[in-house]
Chain A
Amino acid sequence: MYYAVTIATLITMALALVRALVGPTIYDRLLAANMFGTKTVLFLSVVAFLYGRPDFLDLALVYALINFIGVIAVLEFIRERVDSDVSEKSAGE
């Protein structure tokens, strides 16, 4: 029964990768990367449990925490770009 979940997760990772490759805007790609991250956490948890190694769950925990930081970094990047564009425009007027 665990193999069914693992195969479903791997197929979803492939589908997310297709969206990351195709997606017209960068937000589509970022959405796909975030989804890929949570699927990796689930894949690592299931396989770590399946092979009887609870130590390896630390890996899934690190990933669940770090995945978040990439999306926040993109939000900050976009906010900074919009702010500097707005202030350049208002300084030029």
Chain B
Amino acid sequence: MTMAIDILSWLLLTAGGAFIFIGGLGALRMPNLYTRMHAASLTDTMGAVLVLGGIMLQAGLTLATIKLAIILLFLLLTSPTASNALASAAILSGLQPKEGPVNRAGRSE
């Protein structure tokens, strides 16, 4: 049983590490701000879920698992919201999702 938990957490940690690295590579090599945002935020959240899930399996039922679950919950709430806020700020100051900025048309309600 512990062997199964060990293998499962090893798989989750490796997958999480791979997602994190892919996200970093994507943020560096994508051509535009919005594509970079797409790469960074999706892989951030997925990598966090996998890595923290892997550690929680290793920790068993202790206080550390509850703290890790709370950290995961807050990351799941705040990381996509931060990307949304960043995209709103970028659109608001005129950076349209194409090549280069265009004229501002005012804020849409």
Which residues does A use to contact B, with CB under 8 Å? 1-2, 4-5, 8-9, 11-16, 18-19, 25, 27-28, 30-32, 34-35, 38-39, 41-42, 45-46, 49, 54, 57-58, 60-61, 64-65, 67-68, 71-72, 74-75, 78-79, 81-82, 86
Are B82 and A49 neighbours in the complex by a CB distance under 8 Å? no
Main secondary structure of the interface of B (DSSP, over half): helix
Are B78 and A67 neighbours in the complex by a CB distance under 8 Å? yes
Residues of chain B at interface, number, CB under 8 A: 51
Candidates B27, B51, B70, B83; contact of A42 at CB < 8 Å: B51
Total of A-B residue pairs, C-beta within 8 Å:
145
Are B67 and A58 neighbours in the complex by a CB distance under 8 Å? yes
Question: Which residues of chain A come closer than 8 Å to B107, judged between CB atoms?
Answer: 82, 86
- Contact A19:B36 (CB < 8 A) given known A1-B14, A58-B67, A65-B78: yes
Are B33 and A57 neighbours in the complex by a CB distance under 8 Å? no
Closest residue of A by beta carbon distance from B82: A71
- Contact A5:B16 (CB < 8 A) given known A41-B75, A45-B71: yes
- Contact A75:B89 (CB < 8 A) given known A38-B44, A54-B67: yes
Closest residue of A by beta carbon distance from B34: A27
Are B55 and A38 neighbours in the complex by a CB distance under 8 Å? no
Question: Which residues of chain A come closer than 8 Å to B95, judged between CB atoms?
Answer: 25, 27
A-B contact pairs, 25 of them (CB 8 A): A2-B13, A5-B14, A8-B17, A11-B21, A15-B27, A25-B90, A25-B95, A28-B36, A31-B37, A31-B86, A34-B79, A42-B20, A49-B55, A57-B64, A57-B67, A60-B71, A61-B70, A61-B74, A65-B74, A65-B78, A68-B81, A75-B89, A78-B92, A79-B92, A81-B93
